[in-house]
Amino acid sequence: MSSTVEKVAEKYGYSPDQIQSQKFGTGHINSTYLLSVDGEDKKFILQSINQNVFKDPLIIAQNVRLVGEYLKKNYPEYLFVGSIPALSGEEMPLVDGVYWRMSRFIPNSVAYDTLSDPKQAFEAAEQFGRLSKLLSRFDPSLLRPSIPGFHDLNLRYDQFKEAHANAEEGLKLKASHQIETALSHSFIVDFFNSYKNSPDFPDRAMHHDTKISNMLFDKTTNEGLCVIDLDTLMAGKFISDLGDMMRTYVCAFSENEADMDKIFIRVEYFEAIINGYLKEMGSILTNTEKDLILFSGKYLIYMQALRFLTDYLNGNVYYPISYPEQNLVRTVNQFKLLSEFFSKEKILQSIVDKCLHS
Ligand code: ATP
Ligand code: MG
Ligand code: MG
């Protein structure tokens, strides 16, 4: 009997005796395979979509197709890693009850899980910025949300309040300090709401998952090649992409680090992000958006802290954990990073100002 991957390959015209497949990459959401075809100098990426996270994968297929068509028409040189349709014409054939997609494997590319040089932050910010720039005239309302409310801070705050109201007393006691911190920073929600509907703070087509492993680098030159992982390409604010780069690039350690002395901002990475991003988006952002550059980091870090805390209070139903208090540790970690943004506010803002005017 053929394996599921073989059945999927057949949908694209490749028989089981023509192909080899192996698990590939370090993605956490989907299952990713590298597919090699005998006698062809081509490789493909095959991915099954995680339907616990993406309730309707065909929304992703449609969004990526619309954006791919737009970019091909307007910027034919741009390297966009869209889906390759199956023989049936479907972008995401259903095989054994699961949706799959194929994309071309980008040769001589490498993805990293952590950054080891500010240049990588610059390259990534430039690439994510370029995608937003090329889509700045694309109508974002054409895109449907693949995860409704994904970066909606009001929703995340309400979910935290609800979890707090319903949590077991023991959990509330253990998390009391973090709950207090979450409540005392609700001014971040109010601040966002005071801008949310401003015409100078428009919805744009955003990537929404700008961690470094979603960027491909050229193995030889180490230059940024292209962005990948377009599952959350949908309408949002520019702060989603820029803020998530700040959240995930400026600190040398991830949200899983329990030693809080290691959680601090590497200013040179911050500067590299701003320079790379503004190289592309500097001519696109409105003055209001430019005023919100530093806020983008605070917004994303606070939202992520709320999400970890909410999950802890709900009994760890969303984020996988390897020990019981892990979501609380992640919360403490993100609040530490947030406090770094506040305590270094002056220097960070002066870097933003310098980059804006250089
Ligand atoms: P995440 O945990 O970020 O949501 P994911 O499960 O959605 O990840 P992807 O990021 O799409 O999966 O892919 C996982 C990894 O596979 C990438 O980090 C990269 O190493 C590799 N990869 C994906 N697409 C390609 C491609 N077209 N060419 C080369 N490598 C790729
Ligand atoms: Mg990824
Ligand atoms: Mg992904």
CA distance 120 to 42: 27
Q: Does residue 112 lie within any of the structural domains? A: no
CA distance 201 to 300: 16
Residue 257 has pLDDT above 80, yes or no: yes
The yes/no answer to whether this complex scores an ipTM above 0.90 is: yes
Domain that holds residue 28: 4-105
DSSP string, 45-65: EEEE--TTT-S-HHHHHHHHH
Residue 1 has pLDDT above 70, yes or no: no
Please tell me the predicted confidence (pLDDT) of residue 39.
79
Residue 65 has pLDDT above 80, yes or no: yes
Mean pLDDT confidence for 177-194: 98
Q: What is the CATH number of the domain that holds 22?
A: 3.30.200.20
CA distance 319 to 302: 17
Boundary residue ending a domain (46, 74, 105): 105
pTM: 0.96
Q: Does residue 113 lie within any of the structural domains? A: no
Q: Which bound ligand lies closest to the C-alpha atom of 248?
A: 1
Q: Does residue 253 lie within any of the structural domains? A: yes
Residue 54 has pLDDT above 90, yes or no: yes
pLDDT 10s digits, 295-316: 999 999 999 999 999 999 999 9
Q: What is the CATH number of the domain that holds 123?
A: 3.90.1200.10
Q: What are phi and psi of 285, to 5 degrees?
A: -60, 140
**Could you tell me if the CB of 63 is within 6 A of ligand 1?**
no
Mean pLDDT across the chain: 97
Nearest Cα residue to atom 26 of ligand 1: 105
| Ligand 1 atom closest to 31 (CA) | 6
Q: Does residue 333 lie within any of the structural domains? A: yes
As residues whose CB is below 5 A from the ion ligand 2, the structure lists 27, 214, 229
Please tell me the predicted confidence (pLDDT) of residue 358.
86
Boundary residue ending a domain (105, 133, 157): 105
Q: Do 322 and 223 share a structural domain?
A: yes
C-beta of residue 15 within 8 angstroms of C-beta of residue 8:
no
Distance, CA 24 to ligand 2 centroid (Å)?
A: 11
- What percent of the chain stands above pLDDT 70? 99
C-beta of residue 238 within 8 angstroms of C-beta of residue 206:
yes
Q: What are phi and psi of 15, to 5 degrees?
A: -85, 155
Q: Do 100 and 122 share a structural domain?
A: no
Number of structural domains the chain divides into: 2
**Could you tell me if the CB of 229 is within 6 A of ligand 1?**
yes
**Could you tell me if the CB of 253 is within 6 A of ligand 1?**
no
Q: Does residue 110 lie within any of the structural domains? A: no
| Ligand 1 atom closest to 213 (CA) | 18
Q: What angle do CA 212, 241, 189 make, to 5 degrees?
A: 130
**Cα–Cα distance list, 158 to 186, 320, 334 (Å):** 11, 22, 19
**Could you tell me if the CB of 231 is within 6 A of ligand 1?**
yes
Mean pLDDT confidence for 237-262: 98
Mean pLDDT confidence for 177-181: 98
